[in-house]
């Protein structure tokens, strides 16, 4: 995967293809030719196909299961239930093992896995599943998260109870501030269930090994954490399972939880044959957790000139039946519940609850997205109440370096929100609609629902604050092994980590860092596997920081050894030497040796862990604590055209300004901002898993809509670099923040055009077009 350099990007970089450049992705050619092996492409001689029987009910007891007829089907090699789980029968994230591998006597959400089949052909497996006779005793599902808070015991859906986490935040004296406030605004907001909708379905291959263990090829965000959950359930030691990352077709949080891993392992161990499992899109909607839906009540008080005095907030997140990441999502919603604004008195009550609704967990933005829609809607409301502009109200309350978050944590690196807003304001606006617009540019597009009549333009703004890396005391680290040797007469580096490339471009970045730190051109990225230490998850916008930091640190160790050898060989002080363009260079820039001359036939290898600074748990009573490692800001402006009669929206343009600390790879960074913005557009306008009585009504791409190229407008970007002194290269994680702020900006723009309150996302046409909204 050695990547040839190309012309340098707009950032001056030491060496072609180094940090700051945009070299082509090392996996790019394989991906455009169709040769890149995604998990669903894997194939082996003698391979069987696994399939999963899932519950049709959101909540039911299993009176009996008869697998006999299924097992007797020709071409079927195994039919397994919970009784066949070789080890622990439950698993889960963050040590909360509350999710059954296969249902034990009861199902708690629609789509919960009940039984497994392995067969010669996927269609045989499917038909065999239909022959598994399950006798259900259907129960009334718990579907109202507020009812769970009111009566957790009476609405208990599993042993751990009704409330998964209650996290209060208390700052100052809200009751006293309420008496002083000159302006009070309040609102109730709702966020529907968003799906990650990664395109590559959950897939993988489990191959029985001679030692009784398994070789597993899986599509995941965090191999080592998968392994910690898989091994005990399969009754294997972790060293008996060799994990290799198969090609990942997008993730966005949806691969943090296990899907088919243990199931394929069980079938492979039982049959002694390789087993592939690959979900179709329908099953994928049941095969992973989604973004938590949220119910939120906000009340803000301020002075007449729009300076915030207090925030009184309740956030309710519905996590579904099992814990997944609800503990941490709730903490995020609580700690970031009022966003990047200085508020002297705060009361937040954040709840994550268990219900029989679809299971929810990690998705890009992770708890911060939901709160952002509410607090940004509140800022617009406050601006209107005070008679000042939406940008001005945000500037007046904006945090900066030295400000305190709701948790009391002091922001100890740049947080230039006011400047980002100034820059956003300075960006040119798209031209106003002309007298005879191209019909494809209008709401409704080629459906010709309007020729311009009834179309009103609106402009809105959104600001988002996201924590970067894992928070609340987690020992967050990554590991990298770097090897430098001469191959074909040329110095070459090999970088080996377990970090998951999920599309974000981490493989490109690792090579860039190695080029910059080692002064070599040839860098190969070893396939990600568990023969090297834990890299942590490709989530929380943390891999550039953490695995980037680990690769940098390992390269520095290799370089130090190389220079020490050079110093000894040449009789020079190693501290005066550096590497550049494959050469050892003295302080006066004189080339004193080539790397090949110093290395000869030797290799220098170093493995290093990189940990970020410690963080603290939020106090369970006050919510106070330095819980976050790093914080990142993004701001958006949305310009929309709305057909106010039909409620159709065309987003005309999205502009974003983001502080990223340091631009590591301009092209990949822009791709993250574009893509994150598009997912925020989806949440604003169209994306929702619709649920009735705990049942999903739209588990397909026909009925769950994600933005197409017609929905996503052109973007204007302004990227600024205020280095974070705590982070490698000063970088700031960048993948998630744009997903936060684009949603409230778009909704604000529609409000601007229509005057409708729009308190729920995704916005439905009837909320725009019918007087009084959808009611």
Q: Which residues bind another protein (CB under 8 A)?
A: 6, 22, 24-25, 27-29, 31-38, 40-41, 43, 121, 123, 196-201, 247-252, 278, 280-281, 438, 440-441, 446, 502-505, 667-668, 670-671, 673-679, 700-702, 706-710, 712, 714-715
How far does Cα 487 stand from its chain's mean position? 38
Shortest reach from residue 4's CB to another protein, in Å: 11
Shortest reach from residue 250's CB to another protein, in Å: 4
Shortest reach from residue 666's CB to another protein, in Å: 9
- 105-141 core/surface letters (b: 16 or more CB in 10 A; e: else): ebbbbbbbbbbbbbbeebebbebbbebbebeeeebeb
Short-list 257, 191, 307, 62, CA closest to 758: 191
Strands 648-659 and 715-720, bridge-based pairing: parallel
- 195 vs 257, beta carbon nearer another protein: 195
Burial class (CB in 10 A: 0-12, 13-18, 19+), 193: buried
Shortest reach from residue 37's CB to another protein, in Å: 8
How far does Cα 379 stand from its chain's mean position? 26
Shortest reach from residue 640's CB to another protein, in Å: 16
DSSP structure class, residue 708: -
Shortest reach from residue 675's CB to another protein, in Å: 5
Shortest reach from residue 1's CB to another protein, in Å: 13
- 378 vs 673, beta carbon nearer another protein: 673
Residue with tokens 């309150």, as numbered in its chain:
757
Angle 390-397/368-386 helices, nearest 10 degrees?
Answer: 110
Shortest reach from residue 431's CB to another protein, in Å: 15
DSSP assignment of 444-511: TGGG-S-SSTTEEEEEEEEEEEEEES--TT---EEEEEEEEEEETTEEEEEEE--B--SSS-HHHHHH
- 444-471 core/surface letters (b: 16 or more CB in 10 A; e: else): bbeeeebebeebbbbbbbbbbbbbbbbb
Maximal CA-CA distance, the chain: 84
- 281 vs 726, beta carbon nearer another protein: 281
**Cβ 285 vs Cβ 704: under 8 Å:** yes
Q: What is the 3-state secondary structure (H, E, C) of 61-89?
A: EEEEEECHHHHCCCCEEEEECHHHCCCCC
Shortest reach from residue 285's CB to another protein, in Å: 11
The span from the CA of 90 to the CA of 109, in Å, is 15
- 52 vs 553, beta carbon nearer another protein: 52
156: helix, strand or coil: coil
Q: Is omega for the bond preceding 24 within 30 degrees of 0, making it cis?
A: no
Shortest reach from residue 181's CB to another protein, in Å: 40
Q: What is the 3-state secondary structure (H, E, C) of 88-144?
A: CCEECHHHCCCEECCCCCEECCCCCEEEEEEECCHHHHHHHHHCCEEEEEECCCCCC
Shortest reach from residue 766's CB to another protein, in Å: 24
Shortest reach from residue 246's CB to another protein, in Å: 12
Residue with tokens 């994230």, as numbered in its chain:
93
379: tokens are: 């800022």
Short-list 301, 306, 298, 380, CA closest to 337: 298
Short-list 424, 466, 479, CA closest to 639: 424
Shortest reach from residue 465's CB to another protein, in Å: 21
- 117 vs 393, beta carbon nearer another protein: 117
How far does Cα 412 stand from its chain's mean position? 25
* DSSP H stretches of helix in 398-457: 417-426
- 25 vs 108, beta carbon nearer another protein: 25
The span from the CA of 722 to the CA of 268, in Å, is 51
**Cβ 329 vs Cβ 193: under 8 Å:** no
Shortest reach from residue 151's CB to another protein, in Å: 39
* Residues paired with residue 308 on neighbouring β-strands, in sequence order: 302
- 4 vs 154, beta carbon nearer another protein: 4
């Amino acid at each position: 995967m050695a990547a040839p350099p190309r012309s340098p990007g707009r950032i001056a970089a030491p060496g072609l293809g180094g940090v700051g450049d945009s070299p082509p992705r090392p996996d790019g050619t394989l991906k455009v030719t169709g040769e890149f092996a995604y998990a669903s492409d894997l194939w082996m001689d003698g391979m069987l196909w696994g399939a999963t029987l899932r519950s049709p009910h959101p909540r039911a007891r299993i009176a009996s299961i008869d697998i006999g007829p299924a097992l007797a089907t020709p071409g079927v090699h195994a039919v397994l239930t919970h009784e066949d789980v070789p080890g622990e029968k439950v698993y889960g994230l963050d040590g909360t093992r509350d999710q059954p591998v296969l249902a034990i006597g009861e199902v708690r959400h629609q789509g919960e896995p009940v039984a497994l089949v392995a067969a010669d052909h996927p269609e045989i497996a499917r038909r065999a599943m239909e022959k598994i006779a399950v006798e259900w005793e259907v129960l009334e599902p718990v579907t109202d998260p507020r009812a769970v808070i009111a009566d957790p015991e009476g609405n208990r859906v599993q042993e751990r109870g009704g409330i998964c986490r209650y996290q209060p935040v208390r700052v100052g004296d809200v009751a006293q501030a309420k008496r002083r406030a000159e302006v009070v605004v309040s609102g109730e907001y709702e966020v529907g269930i968003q799906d990650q909708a990664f395109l590559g379905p959950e897939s993988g291959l489990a191959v029985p090994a001679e030692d009784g263990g398994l070789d597993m090829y899986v599509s995941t965000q965090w191999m080592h954490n998968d392994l910690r959950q898989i091994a005990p359930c399969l009754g294997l030691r972790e060293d008996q399972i060799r994990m290799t990352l198969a090609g990942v077709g997008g993730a966005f949080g949806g691969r943090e939880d296990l899907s088919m891993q243990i199931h394929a392992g069980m079938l492979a161990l039982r049959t002694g044959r390789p087993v592939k499992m690959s979900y179709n899109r329908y099953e994928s909607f049941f095969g992973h957790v989604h973004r938590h839906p949220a119910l939120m009540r906000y009340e803000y008080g301020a002075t007449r000139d729009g300076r915030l005095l207090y925030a009184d907030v309740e956030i309710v997140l519905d996590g579904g039946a099992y814990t997944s990441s609800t503990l941490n999502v709730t903490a995020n919603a609580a700690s970031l519940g009022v966003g990047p604004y200085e508020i002297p008195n705060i009361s937040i009550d954040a709840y994550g609850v268990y219900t029989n609704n679809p299971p929810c967990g990690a998705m890009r933005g992770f708890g911060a997205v939901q709160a952002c829609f509410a607090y940004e809607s509140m800022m617009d409301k406050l601006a209107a109440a005070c008679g000042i502009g939406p940008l001005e109200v945000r500037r007046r309350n904006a945090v900066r370096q030295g400000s305190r978050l709701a948790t009391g944590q002091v922001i100890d690196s740049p947080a230039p929100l006011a400047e980002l807003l100034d820059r956003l304001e300075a960006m040119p606006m798209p031209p106003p609609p002309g007298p005879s617009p191209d019909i494809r540019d209008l709401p409704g597009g080629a459906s010709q629902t309007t020729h311009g009549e009834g179309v009103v333009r609106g402009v809105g703004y959104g600001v988002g604050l996201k924590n970067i890396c894992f928070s609340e005391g987690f020992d967050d680290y990554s590991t990298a092994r770097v090897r430098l040797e001469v191959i074909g007469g040329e110095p070459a580096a090999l970088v080996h980590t377990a970090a998951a490339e999920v599309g974000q471009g981490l493989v490109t970045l690792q090579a860039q860092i190695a080029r910059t730190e080692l002064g070599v051109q040839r860098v190969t990225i070893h396939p990600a596997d568990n023969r090297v230490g834990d890299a942590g998850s490709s989530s929380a916008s943390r891999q550039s920081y953490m695995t980037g930091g680990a690769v940098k640190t390992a390269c520095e160790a290799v370089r130090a050894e190389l220079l020490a050898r050079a110093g000894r060989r040449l009789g020079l002080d190693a501290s005066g030497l550096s590497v550049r363009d494959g050469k050892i260079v003295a302080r006066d820039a004189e080339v004193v040796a080539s790397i090949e001359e110093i290395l000869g036939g030797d290799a220098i290898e170093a493995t290093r862990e990189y940990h970020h600074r410690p963080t603290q748990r939020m106090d369970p009573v006050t919510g106070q604590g330095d819980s976050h490692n790093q914080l990142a800001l993004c701001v958006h402006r949305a310009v929309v055209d709305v057909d106010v009669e039909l409620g159709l929206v065309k987003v005309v343009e999205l502009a974003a300004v983001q502080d990223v600390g340091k631009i590591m790879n301009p092209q990949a960074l822009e791709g993250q901002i574009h893509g994150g913005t598009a997912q925020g557009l989806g949440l604003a306008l169209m994306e929702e898993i619709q649920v009735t009585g705990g049942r999903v009504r739209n588990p397909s791409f026909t009925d769950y809509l994600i933005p197409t190229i017609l929905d996503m407008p052109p973007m204007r970007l302004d990227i600024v670099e205020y280095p974070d002194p705590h982070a490698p290269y000063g970088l700031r994680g960048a993948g998630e923040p744009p997903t936060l702020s684009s949603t409230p900006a778009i909704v604000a723009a529609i409000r601007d055009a229509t005057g409708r309150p729009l308190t729920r996302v995704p916005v439905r046409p009837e909320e725009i077009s019918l007087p009084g909204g959808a009611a």
